[in-house]
Chain A
């Protein structure tokens, strides 16, 4: 991979944000407003006693060396002056000057030119919510819609995985240093995303992650998606901030409902009460994006289970536990368990912890 053609001015801007990372963290309450400031205003606003030193370093900034460093880290560069810069980001009041891209630049350009949906949610989520995120992303991936998220553990990771499992495309936006997995445990997912999608970040390869970078990153996720879907989010969570940002950008927001008593469902339900689209299946999202008859690729059903397995399959799809499903399908325990194994072998259902079976696909 080679360094892109990003211009010196934009690179300097990106460098400056990294240089002021510690100062910005102090002021993270108004981070979005700060990011909208010009260079000199930004230095004056946050650098304090270091202002003179920062100005001197800014004058000495060597764009060539920065490009080389990024190329060494395997990052491609694309700045807001380039033709391939995702136009969706222009909707932001403070668009990122440069995207540091792990993965192929042309692919990022192609993906951002097509339709994308952001799926965001809680890090600690229930198996139900994870499955909801995964299967939603699978459906979107199959329909050729790019799934955008933040690679955090939980819902974010499940969304990326779902899209990639369906051989769809997915883009992760990291707080900083997109050549490294963040969180580090997501190494495998990071590799899959680079191979089949892209991992991007506003900040350069040597910037350490700080707290202000998460809301800053969330604004990119909100802008890159033509729609934002929240799967599980507690009160005052980052996912809700992303959804709010999307609303200010006039992007449609969707939410996947959960159990009304679970704290994790608070976010999605609050959004739905305020008029967000209720999302229960990929078709709901596709309808918002393309209208009721403009779905690009039919997210049609996969191969169906054999006829004798059909009643059990349907009972499970209705959410019944195996024992009840056997009864509904008129099977005794022995034949029911055998049919369950046959469905699992065929890849139609997956076993979840606690002996619950979920429908694949």
Chain B
């Protein structure tokens, strides 16, 4: 960049053009205030794996597959890129050792806990994980409890027929009292957003009759 252009860019920046400049894997990127790191990466075609993210609903940072390492002001953190707002001058690394370690173990745990999901096997394979150290206890389970179905029913459809009940390892997608929902309108949005095919199994149990 020649000196005149550089001066112009600097002036534009100082005037406050509403753009936030930072780097991803060393590459300079620009984003608008309010964007997340994940959105910016997608804009630039930089791949970050996700599971619980869907553009139609608010992100919650639950699966942690989208983690990235950020470095700013001598502070290094590992954060979920889907919920991390962009900030000026931050260095983002999408494939550092720390990030790869998190992804590898999360995928191994997903393989053991959602063994019935083809999509998860494929996602794991993309990231180089083909086997797991952990015991498979429920061979028919495909649900990673990402909550996309619940969020879609809430934010997109507004019916709120299902929710995530219980907590911890007992967390489950269900309609109240494990009965079929009386509020469900059978629109099928939950089936559409489910990233693992689990909702196909669950739908007959939670949907209205």
Partners in one complex: no
Binding site for B on A (CB under 8 A): none
